[in-house]
Amino acid sequence: MHCDVYKFPKSPDWYVYIARPDYPNDTDEIKDWLGVLPSELRAKLGLGTFVMHLDLLARDKLAQADIKMVKTKLAEQGYYVQAPPADVLAQQALAKAKALQDNKYD
């Protein structure tokens, strides 16, 4: 099972794995690989940047994600979203709220 991994400068620490079931026979034409994502998710994440290509059959684990869950989601929906841990999300939300509050009173 092959997939590509993308990161999103607009949404730090978020990664998306995109299934490549026909790899390497799917490389002859340019394709919007992120087109499998729901439009709301694409809007939230912003423009994706390619990070790497992975052969998941050659791996036993991934650094930040459960490889079994990644494989399941890739097979079911064609993508897997790796969000930051809950504590990182909470810190990001708090920092964003503080910045908005500071800007409101400037």
User: How would you write 24-52 as a 3-class SS string?
Assistant: CCCCCCCCCHHHHCCHHHHHHHCCCEEEE
Of the candidate CATH numbers 3.40.50.720, 3.30.1330.10, 3.10.510.20, 2.60.120.380, the domain formed by 2-104 belongs to: 3.10.510.20
Which residues make beta-bridge pairs with 16? 6, 81
pLDDT, tens digit (0-9, with 9 covering 90-100), for 76-104: 999 999 987 777 667 777 877 887 777 66
Contact 33, 47 (CB under 8 A): no
This prediction has a pTM of 0.78
Q: Could you report the per-residue pLDDT of 15-53, keeping only the tens digit for each? A: 999 999 888 888 888 788 888 999 999 988 888 999 999
User: What gap in Å lies between CA 9 and CA 49, rounded to an integer?
Assistant: 8
Query: Where are the chain's structural domains?
Result: 2-104
